[in-house]
Amino acid sequence: MKKVAIIGASGYSGIELTKLIKQHPYLEISGLFVSETSTDKYKNINELYPEVIGTIDYILKPLIAHEFDFINDNCDYVCLCTDHFVSLNLAKKFLSMDKVVVDLSGAFRLENKEYYEKYYGFMHNHSDLLDFADYGLAEWNKNSISSSKLIAVPGCYPTAALMALKPLKKCGLIEENNKIIVNAVSGISGAGRKATLNNSFCEVSLKPYGLFTHRHTPEINQYLGIDVLFTPHVGNFKRGILETIYVELNEWVTTEQIEDSFKYYQNMHLVRVLNKRLPTIDGVVGTPFVDIGWESQGNQLIIVVAIDNLLKGAASQAVQCMNLNCGLPSEHGLL
């Protein structure tokens, strides 16, 4: 059994990760931690999430000095479900203990350190780790994840977009002189657990945000190798992401070539290519699956992709990465 510490365990991604590791046959929770100033410290996790009463029973410990010693002595993996800037500094410390760090924040996803000031609002003071980190898109980066010490779990929106677009890019089907448009909508849980007026359920209407400035735009561009026009929306539902993606294909591309490109996923158990049956949010919520469907007319392709933002967009993808790092199939313990 490999032992896992979860930092920031009281958040939505943290509880989902806790649930997944609790029932995993090869991973074991060694401790759940929150910040020293958190109002959740010393509470039982099932006080915050009553759905796990009777099945999960862990005290949320504040991450104070002697807990670092505990993690050093008792853990193989450290999962950071923390704010980007918090992850930035904690990762360095845990790497110095020779732990494998699985970071669910955006602190190590981008290669260009200048983007952190522009898109994240802070100066990246550990830019040496940007080249050291491996991007945790499990279906595409298996080899690098398998040997990595610092895994940057992809953002939720980029996960959906890249899973839809990378097969087409790999096969050279995209007409690269036309802008790809990614129109995405996420449930309110994507904003995190800390309440503000903007993410109060009664205040939320379907609305766009972050036009031209969202931090996931450079992430999609970097790992696709093509610039996209990305517009996120927030909807008044709890969880799930649905993206409708508009792609101009090369004029010579046939329907059969589109189908063949998505055969890349044919032996990957967590990807369901529905072809012309279009995905829905209800079809993926509470699951680790990526659902991909599409229709074409001439050289215009519309792809629809759906994921659970807290699972494939965060916690279950982190488990996939730990599985690969342990030499297991990426879907181990998730099906």
Give yes or no: 326 in active site. Answer: no
Q: Are strands 228-234 and 207-208 parallel, antiparallel or unpaired?
A: antiparallel
Q: Judge whether 59 and 88 are in contact, CB under 8 Å.
A: no
Which of 312, 175, 195 shows the shortest CA–CA distance to 247?
175
Q: CA-CA distance, 8 to 45, in Å (whole number)?
A: 11
Which pLDDT score, from 0 to 100, does residue 202 have?
76
* CA–CA distance, 138 with 145 (Å, rounded to integer): 7
Interacting residues of 119 by C-beta distance below 8 A, sequence separation 6+: 110, 213, 214, 215, 217, 218
d(CA 176, CA 250): 8
- Domains in the chain (CATH in brackets) are 2-153+314-325 (3.40.50.720), 156-307 (3.30.360.10)
List the beta bridge partners of residue 134: 151
Sign of the alpha-carbon dihedral angle for 123, 126, 132, 135: negative
- Which is catalytic among the residues 75, 79, 156, 321? 156
Closest CA to 216 of 245, 184, 240, 194: 184
Q: State residue 195's pLDDT score.
A: 64
In angstroms, rounded to a whole number, what is the distance separating the alpha carbons of residues 122 and 153? 19
pLDDT tens-digit series, residues 171-225: 999 998 999 999 999 998 887 777 677 777 778 889 999 999 999 999 999 999 9
Identify the pLDDT of residue 113: 93
Residues in the chain where the model's pLDDT stays below 70: 195
pLDDT at 205: 85
CA-angle at 91, arms to 312 and 28, nearest 5°? 55
Reported pTM: 0.96
Q: Give the model confidence (pLDDT) of 273-304 as tens digits.
A: 998 899 999 999 999 999 999 999 999 999 99
How far apart CA 87 and CA 102 sit, in angstroms, is 10
- What's the CA angle centered on 327, arms 151 and 74, to 5 degrees? 65
